[in-house]
Structure 1
């Protein structure tokens, strides 16, 4: 067939070769009902369900799941080799493991529905495995969660598409759209990329894909359709292209994708990696996984400005416990070798629904119970995480960042929760962090407007430009049709950032930016001129932004920022940013 190139937007860089697997959709894990959790009385639950019947349902679902997985293991082993087949063989063993089956049956006899029993037992056993600091056990934890989801789907009468080809050929998954939790469930060994008809680069599905290193192309529109199912494709996430029926040159280019820019590439000759940057700016990384933390360290990041902790737990139906969280956070701290790491507490809600927090349907989730609002309404969820963070950082400094802050009262209440978590850890005899730095995110205009009141209560600020522009401009960040509005060069956004920087300076509080704006050299020059001292970007962008910042001339970027604050339009802001960045780069080159 003729080679065809579909062009969309870059969602996550990287290239992959495989066969397209059409999933239909949109995939939406949040739309599924939560597992039944029923009380019982006199041998029956409140709805008259017989425990013996629940036990039979569970055993039948486990047997079917085991048989499906054993068949899949044989098929993939024959076609793709024993390593791929071994993934499903291990899962089949879990479905028959007495260590899983017997506790689930016991839970039913104690009053749980079959759905709740397998959901809870699989989560508890997986957490125990994930809490062991060993890669083998972490892989088995992922397998066990997959088995739990498979059995739960069968019990609840819902079907999920296989996110792989049964013959083991790498799949390029294709769908109209996808939830972040669905992306989190992808097994990289079986999937080489993801192509979507819709989606936005600043949406959380794209952020999860970048965290997992999955190439992603967005916004392909009607050109991506079911008629392409099972066609040979090459995906180029960096260029935003999907090539159908690629030629040999396309395949070679995907195989030999150019490595990331080396540290310091493009910087002036007088500058060397590790040298202080103009205006004392630090280049840090945004991460959502241990792998990304390792990439950040290799890229020479000065630290991690944002750990998106919620991305590690999407797709779960049971909230993660202390042991699993502690082990994961410790690995991230270890990866950075003593460089500062900022952990944002769980920020679920909006386009990041959490299966373990189904809640009531909200007409507008982006304006609903998310971030610290959820944490304060579910104190056990927030304090479990804070305790895990405190224990993970035992003997070290801990930096905690609170998301979606709108009011002074929320800051005070979050600090109180941190104190309670520390007390709980000490009562349990655990060692905790020797020093805690407490920060808040500025992503709601209300917080920016009262930042002078918040500053005495916190140690640092982090501006999330993706959400701040969304709420300031009233433009959904996930709506591709509004992408021209949700941009970092909006005058209103710059004025809010300037307000935050001025108030923070009065109290000696550093200000970082962890949104996509930090990765734009032209906008970054304005941020530096406004007083931002930390730019946190994706690991792959660390070297590029460090090289750009090395060219900043303090007087030039401050003058450009002052001019931009008076600009009436986004187009004019961009003109000023472009001209200022060009001038500062030229002045450094001449010097």
Structure 2
């Protein structure tokens, strides 16, 4: 009969326990497994496919043709079974043949069956087989049935591994090659470092999956939870960054996950099904990984990474295998390697020895990256398969700026790396010497250089770089690192702290830019149903619809700026009426504050971000109502060219120095100047010296860029003759220009002695 409760999964495990304990051959055991599972599910077919010599071989079946056993084979990615194994994903189909990956194998006789459900058999984070069931009638399998199949798959992984039926799945102790190797990744925290490779933790292999005593397993998990929570509380209390910041909020959010009763309940339910404590934790962890693969929203995925980090810690605790590299101690300068890390795990390492981190996964918004930035540790992410290509003790040369790491370098590579590092340090010192020197061109024109920020700690870059102010403070960062919606008082405290540190220097606060690829689970702003999230329900569109969110932020900003000038900017304005509505909302909150006798700002300056090309067609309507205009070149470029900036096939195709984008920006700048409205560029384009030079050449004299770009851009400005540049830009854009002006502008800069390094 079909499964109806977790207790049915336990009944299956009890029967499987007897099968595993028997001394019969492995093939006989697998034949029994498909009979047991097929009967429990009430389906006509249950099959097991195992990975053998790189292909998935039908190894046992109940319902398919017996002559197909050991004959039917599928490549990884081929058919439904191959898709499950390749992607380590679950398939639950009421009509199997309708799936694009369906591949018919006539020898199996499966044409009689319509519905299909399959789960991967995972061994050491790798799919080594597939367990599948089928029914003659179309039907969707219930969640409890899929859960039971996943639980059985865990037990199967132990059975087939012990029988030696699958290809070896371990990561080799040494990589296949010992030659020098360059491994590419994603820039997460900039910096250069050299050190020996150290793996964060050994893989914990679960040897026993079926519980003998459920209550004993439950007690082990409870004890492990208590011990893990004590460790995290202690680490959070001992973490020292100085001055507070978002990393403190990250740790508080991380602690909240550790005390999450829902997570503990899911592990308990897995124990109820008959799994050991270790297997139950791994079972829930596998479910988390599968959910992560289905999540397009990077912020929600980052929170799932935190939960997986805690699961790793809990698994080590309950198994007694506590030996991470942090506990064992770092003996030399180290580059740490991990699939992923949680913020608390990073804090365990000796900061004197930890020189850098390389992750197989990771993203810019992950909690561990915020903590790493506060620690000053460079991090490279998305370094695919690095744990298979690098061995413990290998020398690594990490250059996050170039998004790569060299493993086992030759002496010549080491020498070149050290020379670059020394040069970078000298350049950094030279740029630091420009801190108090104004960004004035060689012909006496003053350019305004401001920094982009989003974290409380970023504000200190004003003093380090000598920037004129903060041209873009991304207020959404506080929302993204929080597990719940930040209360108005907490928002107000952040904004006031930022203004206090900035002093007399202006700060432009951008209202929350959420939605799209920056979803907040607690506000249900996920873009999973949107085909193109970048052009969807996000930024000001969300804020105007969820006006309670914007009202709270408006009050927080207005109260934080009491007695000072508040500069506020609205993101992704598509038409002037959106700006008008947002401004009216702020003005209503301003009147509310004044009506209650609270001290208001001395003045409020309202600005709009031009990211949507449509707004440029109504500048004559918009400009009389705004105090300033900022161009967000990142989104503007992809909208203008209809090119997704995250698509690698298009990444190099559309250049910021294309005549199209430069002509567009020049037209906007000319209109803003004619209306007497200050205009700035606050996108990544302004942080690159050559691109910044082009912007100055078309009349844009205000740039808001990353703190690291202030020195190089200031050096460029001070070596530049603006009048000569403007004449050259007019000449280049007035003729039939090439696809990009990059080569022409680069040659002109060299000829004129403009510093672009």
Deviations 1:496-524 (A, max 9, x none): 21121011011111111111111222221
Q: Does residue 551 in structure 1 map to residue 719 in structure 2?
A: yes
Deviation at 1:204, TM superposition (A): 6.8
Structure 1 distance, partners of 2:744, 2:433, is 22
Give the structure 2 partner of residue 430 of structure 1: 598
Give the structure 2 partner of residue 514 of structure 1: 682
Give the structure 2 partner of residue 19 of structure 1: 198
Greater RCO, CA 8 A, separation 6+ = 1
Q: TM-score, normalised by structure 2?
A: 0.56
Give the structure 1 partner of residue 437 of structure 2: 273
1:358–1:578 CA distance, 2 compared to 1 (3 A): same
Structure 1 distance, partners of 2:671, 2:467, is 27
Q: Is the 8 A contact 1:523 1:577 kept in 2?
A: no
Moved more, 156-165 or 426-435: 156-165
Structure 1 distance, partners of 2:472, 2:433, is 25
1:289–1:275 CA distance, 2 compared to 1 (3 A): same
Structure 1 distance, partners of 2:632, 2:566, is 20
Give the structure 2 partner of residue 472 of structure 1: 640
Corresponding residue to 1:69 among 229, 240, 255: 229
1:264–1:359 CA distance, 2 compared to 1 (3 A): closer
Deviations 1:15-34 (A, max 9, x none): 3556355999xxxxxxxxxx
Give the structure 2 partner of residue 316 of structure 1: 482
Q: SS where residue 370 of structure 1 aligns? A: coil
Deviation at 1:141, TM superposition (A): 4.6
Q: TM-score, normalised by structure 1?
A: 0.71
Give the structure 2 partner of residue 42 of structure 1: none
Q: SS where residue 467 of structure 2 aligns? A: coil
Give the structure 2 partner of residue 396 of structure 1: 564
1:471–1:570 CA distance, 2 compared to 1 (3 A): farther
1:522–1:167 CA distance, 2 compared to 1 (3 A): closer
Corresponding residue to 2:497 among 318, 331, 335: 331
Deviations 1:430-476 (A, max 9, x none): 32321111111111111223222211111111111111111111222
Structure 2 distance, partners of 1:253, 1:583, is 27
Structure 2 distance, partners of 1:573, 1:493, is 11
Structure 2 distance, partners of 1:387, 1:326, is 8
Corresponding residue to 1:154 among 232, 257, 263: 263
Structure 2 distance, partners of 1:255, 1:86, is 36
Q: SS where residue 369 of structure 1 aligns? A: coil
Give the structure 2 partner of residue 130 of structure 1: none
Q: Is the 8 A contact 1:455 1:507 kept in 2?
A: yes
1:452–1:19 CA distance, 2 compared to 1 (3 A): farther
Q: For residues 144-223 of structure 1, what are the structure 2 equivalents within 5 Å?
A: 144-152=252-260, 154=263, 157=266, 159=285, 160-162=307-309, 166-168=324-326, 172=336, 193=356, 195=358, 215-217=378-380, 220=383, 222=384
Structure 1 distance, partners of 2:255, 2:633, is 38
CA RMSD of superposed structures (Å): 4.2
Structure 2 distance, partners of 1:446, 1:474, is 13
1:283–1:211 CA distance, 2 compared to 1 (3 A): farther
Deviation at 1:379, TM superposition (A): 0.9
Structure 2 distance, partners of 1:430, 1:444, is 37
List gaps (5 residues or longer) in structure 2.
Answer: 1-173, 204-219, 267-283, 286-306, 314-322
Deviation at 1:484, TM superposition (A): 0.3
Deviation at 1:154, TM superposition (A): 1.0
Structure 1 distance, partners of 2:464, 2:430, is 9
Q: SS where residue 284 of structure 1 aligns? A: strand
1:198–1:146 CA distance, 2 compared to 1 (3 A): closer
Moved more, 410-419 or 514-523: 514-523
Deviations 1:511-560 (A, max 9, x none): 11111111222221221121111111111111111110112212222123
Q: For residues 88-487 of structure 1, what are the structure 2 equivalents within 5 Å?
A: 135=243, 141-152=249-260, 154=263, 157=266, 159=285, 160-162=307-309, 166-168=324-326, 172=336, 193=356, 195=358, 215-217=378-380, 220=383, 222=384, 224=386, 228=390, 233=396, 235-244=398-407, 258=425, 261-262=428-429, 273-274=437-438, 276-277=440-441, 278-359=444-525, 361=528, 362-427=530-595, 429-487=597-655
Larger radius of gyration between Structure 1 and Structure 2 = 2
Q: Does residue 6 in structure 1 map to residue 182 in structure 2?
A: yes
Q: SS where residue 445 of structure 2 aligns? A: helix
